[in-house]
C-alpha cells in the first residue's frame, strides 16, 4: 500500500470516537496523549470462552485498540501490521482490565508500540508488542 494524503481526525479522541468496534464491545477511553493511550474494558458474560474465562481474543481486542489509538494520536495515519501478545494470567468475569499503550520506536514508515494489560491491583494479564505502518499523511 502506498501513502496517500487525506483529511483525517485531528486527535486521538476523534480517532477513538470513530472506532465503532471498540466502543461496541464496551471499551472505554480513559486518556490519550501523543504516542500513548489508556483504555479499560470490564469482562462481561458475553466475553467468556469455553474455559469460563475471558476470551483471549477480547484481551487482544483491548490491547490492539489501545495500540491503534496510540499510533494515531499525531498527524498521519497508521495501521497495525503485526502484533504479538503474551498471556500471563486469566482474566475473570467482572474484572476490569486496563490497557496502556506507549510508543517504543519510530523509524521511517514503521512504529513499534508496547501495551500492558493489567488488573486494577496491578496484576499483569498480558503483554503486547505491535508494529504500525504509515498509510496516509495528513493533507494540509
Interaction site with its own copies (CB under 8 A):
1, 9, 15-16, 18-22, 24, 45-51, 54-58, 60-62, 64-65, 68, 72, 77, 79-90, 104-105, 107-108, 110, 112, 114, 116, 123-124, 127, 129, 131, 135
Residues forming a β-bridge with 114: 102, 129
How do strand 4-6 and strand 124-138 relate by DSSP bridges?
A: parallel
Query: Helix, strand or coil for residue 56?
Result: helix
How far apart CA 99 and CA 118 sit, in angstroms, is: 7
- Residue 33 or 93 with smaller CB distance to its own copies: 93
Smallest separation, CB 137 to its own copies (Å): 14
Least CB distance to its own copies at residue 74 (A): 14
d(CA 54, CA 56): 6
Amino acid at each position: 500500500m502506498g501513502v496517500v494524503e487525506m483529511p483525517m481526525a485531528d486527535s486521538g479522541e476523534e480517532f477513538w470516537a470513530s472506532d465503532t468496534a471498540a466502543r461496541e464491545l464496551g471499551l472505554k477511553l480513559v486518556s490519550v496523549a501523543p504516542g500513548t493511550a489508556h483504555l479499560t474494558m470490564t469482562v462481561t458474560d458475553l466475553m467468556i470462552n469455553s474455559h469460563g474465562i475471558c476470551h483471549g481474543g477480547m484481551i487482544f481486542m483491548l490491547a490492539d485498540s489501545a495500540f491503534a489509538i496510540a499510533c494515531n494520536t499525531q498527524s498521519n495515519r497508521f495501521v497495525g501490521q503485526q502484533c504479538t501478545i503474551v498471556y500471563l494470567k486469566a482474566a475473570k468475569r467482572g474484572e476490569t482490565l486496563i490497557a496502556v499503550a506507549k510508543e517504543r520506536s519510530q523509524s521511517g514508515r514503521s512504529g513499534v508500540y508496547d501495551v500492558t494489560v493489567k488488573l486494577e491491583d496491578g496484576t499483569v494479564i498480558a503483554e503486547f508488542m505491535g508494529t504500525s505502518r504509515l498509510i496516509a499523511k495528513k493533507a494540509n
